[in-house]
Structure 1
Amino acid sequence: MQARMTNPAEILPDATKGIQNIYKAIGQSGTDGKVLELVHLRASQINGCSPCVFGGIKSALRSGETDERLHQVAAWRDSDLSTDAERAALEMAEAATRLADNPTSVSDEIWAAAAAQFSEKELSAIVLMIALTNLFNRINTTIRVPAGATW
């Protein structure tokens, strides 16, 4: 399969600059990189974005994540391999990604669980990572970027 078009962020390079600035801010937040990789992977799984799942797994492995844990991200609720902080972040990623399924989006309970595990700076990075992932997912699925492609 071939993409319908070149990635819009490549056609409009100022978009890439903006995305890179958000990534830079996320990286400077002090948030555990593994948590960020997990929320990226889970949102991408939900959205069916094969390039983001592929790239997310590669990136998570480079960050020291294990195959065993990555194989259980889709079923994190049934896994004993996630920390309480990771569970809170994954639940937030799911709620924020499945907006059409839940009109209240991230409930007060989900937010409170995450806020109990992360500082406001870390929560900011997690929220931005979820939002960026959803942006990437929507671009990739709209233009039909094939699995294995990365930005």
Structure 2
Amino acid sequence: MPVTAKTIYLASPLGFSVESRQLLLPRYVEALEALGLRVWEPFARNAGVNLDQPGWAYAVSQQCLQDVREADGLFAIVNGTPPDEGVMVELGVAFALAKPVFLFRDDFRRCTDSDHYPLNLMVYAGLPQQAWESYVHDSIDSIGAPDKALAQWALG
């Protein structure tokens, strides 16, 4: 029986800008797919939404929420000070559902009151206390690193 690829929800604010959607977002998708993951990228999954239709925003929010529920894990781009609000909601839902969560932050700015974490401590609440750094990526190249939790989860 063939093994079904794990799905990962890509929580990111990169789809709001045409340049980011065309130039940056595909690099993350490709890096995750290189691990054998099926990537659920919400801007692509909701590309057919008619923004002139009443209720479109609610429909998109519900689809994203359903995708987070159904995905096997979540990869969240948490750049910014603070990170994107929608990404933070998706991250919180994934934590509440005990989904495996992996973070990406290559933003050098700190946004925290903790000496331990670069962002609000709640962003790390769903990661293990020990070796939480293994769940955080600081470059696209690190996404496939075999010593990181994401690669171990994807290939395990």
TM-score, with length taken from structure 2:
0.32
The structure with more helix, counted as a fraction of residues: 1
TM-score, with length taken from structure 1:
0.33
The structure with more strand, counted as a fraction of residues: 2
